[in-house]
């Protein structure tokens, strides 16, 4: 059940990244690389000689459509969200093909953020996208989702929120829970938790340079046809590492991440609601731990 929920949530726009309203266009371009690591068979947990790598490019773009401030200086905004991820995998020494060579997730959405009094705010988002293995793109590859998040701001550094998310990842509309938790410290020591995307702790050496230890969860989902049936394939990874962050200018920052993959796996489910509650008889296919590297540019216009 846990992996099925994770597969569905991987279809969603990165809510945590966009939860703060922007007064101008903001974007992130990120590349990731994971070298080939051994495939571990789910039926007996044996590490095989088969290997798969992972290379991905992500682009997230937020375009404000309307930004206003109320009498208390709090922001009410409408934004357009564009998100795209393209991944390519090379598979070696497999007797039969198990995983896709390419994956594409591309979404367009709308987001609305507004205050609800002094301590509360609300975020609504709706999107539609294509989630495909690039072999045959049809209407089954199109998934829609939307959600509403109510956030309680206990202080400028602590916020907790929750709400329902509607997704069509399982073929019919269904509601899943979403939780948002954001906490950070003041001063040079930084600690931030943004559930479910991850957490980071670091030190701000100067205004231009910080070094952080990070743990991040992300993934991709694709629809594919298997024996004439529409299936949802989810790829999940959890990484841990160090991240130097360099402020190149007032509007541009560079983030370099080096570390290891704690978890890297696939899960597959038919697109039925009962699949999310069904316990699997064996573990999901996964890969051995290996090196992880990423480079990201963020800018605000």
For residue 13, being part of any structural domain is answered with: no
pLDDT tens for each residue of 186-208:
778 888 877 667 889 999 999 99
Q: Which of 73, 104, 72 has the alpha carbon at shortest distance from 87?
A: 104
The predicted pLDDT at position 28 comes to 94
pLDDT for residue 278 is more than 80? no
Comparison of pLDDT for 113 and 20, the residue scoring more = 113
Q: State the average pLDDT for the chain.
A: 85
For residue 18, being part of any structural domain is answered with: no
For residue 233, being part of any structural domain is answered with: yes
Cite the beta strand spans of the chain per DSSP E: 26-40, 47-69, 75-88, 91-92, 102-116, 120-132, 142-155, 158-167, 174-183, 189-195, 198-204, 209-226, 229-247, 252-270, 286-287, 291-300
pLDDT tens for each residue of 133-157:
988 888 888 888 888 989 999 988 8
**Cα–Cα distance, 25 to 300 (Å, whole number):** 6
For residue 281, being part of any structural domain is answered with: yes
Query: Hunting for tokens 């790829």 — which residue is that?
Result: 235
For residue 166, being part of any structural domain is answered with: yes
For residue 282, being part of any structural domain is answered with: yes
pLDDT tens for each residue of 238-253:
999 999 999 999 899 9
What is the total count of domains within the chain? 1
For residue 16, being part of any structural domain is answered with: no
Report the CATH number at residue 295: 2.40.160
pLDDT for residue 10 is more than 70? no
For residue 89, being part of any structural domain is answered with: yes
Residue range of the domain that includes 30: 26-300
Q: What is the pTM of this model?
A: 0.87
The predicted pLDDT at position 15 comes to 47
Comparison of pLDDT for 182 and 40, the residue scoring more = 40
Residue 96 exposed, middle or buried by CB count within 10 Å (0-12, 13-18, 19+) = exposed
């Amino acid at each position: 059940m846990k992996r099925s929920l994770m597969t569905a949530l991987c279809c969603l726009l990165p809510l945590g990244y966009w939860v703060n309203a922007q007064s101008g266009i903001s974007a992130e371009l990120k590349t990731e690389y994971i070298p080939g690591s051994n495939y571990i068979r789910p039926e007996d947990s044996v590490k095989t000689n088969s290997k798969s790598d992972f290379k991905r490019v992500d682009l997230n773009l937020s375009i404000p459509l309307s930004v206003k401030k109320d009498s208390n200086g709090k922001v009410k905004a409408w934004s357009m969200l564009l998100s795209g991820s393209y991944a390519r995998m090379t598979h070696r020494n497999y007797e039969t093909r198990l995983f896709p060579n390419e994956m594409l997730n591309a979404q367009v959405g709308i987001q609305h953020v507004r205050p609800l009094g002094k301590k509360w705010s609300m975020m609504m988002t709706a999107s539609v996208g294509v989630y495909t293995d690039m072999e045959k793109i049809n209407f089954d590859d199109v998934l829609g989702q939307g959600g509403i998040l109510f956030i309680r701001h206990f202080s400028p550094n602590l916020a907790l929120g929750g709400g329902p998310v509607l997704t069509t990842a399982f073929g019919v509309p269904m509601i899943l829970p979403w939780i948002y938790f954001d906490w950070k410290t003041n001063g040079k020591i930084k600690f931030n938790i943004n559930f479910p995307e991850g957490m980071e702790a670091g030190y701000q050496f100067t205004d231009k340079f910080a070094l952080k230890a990070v743990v991040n969860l992300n993934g991709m989902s694709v629809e594919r046809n298997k024996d004439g049936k529409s299936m949802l394939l989810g790829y999940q990874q959890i990484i841990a590492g160090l991240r130097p962050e360099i402020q190149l200018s007032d509007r541009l920052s560079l983030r370099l991440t080096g570390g290891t993959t704690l978890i890297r796996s696939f899960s597959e489910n038919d697109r039925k609601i009962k699949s999310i509650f069904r316990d699997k008889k064996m573990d999901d296919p996964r890969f051995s731990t290996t090196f992880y590297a990423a480079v990201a540019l963020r800018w605000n216009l």
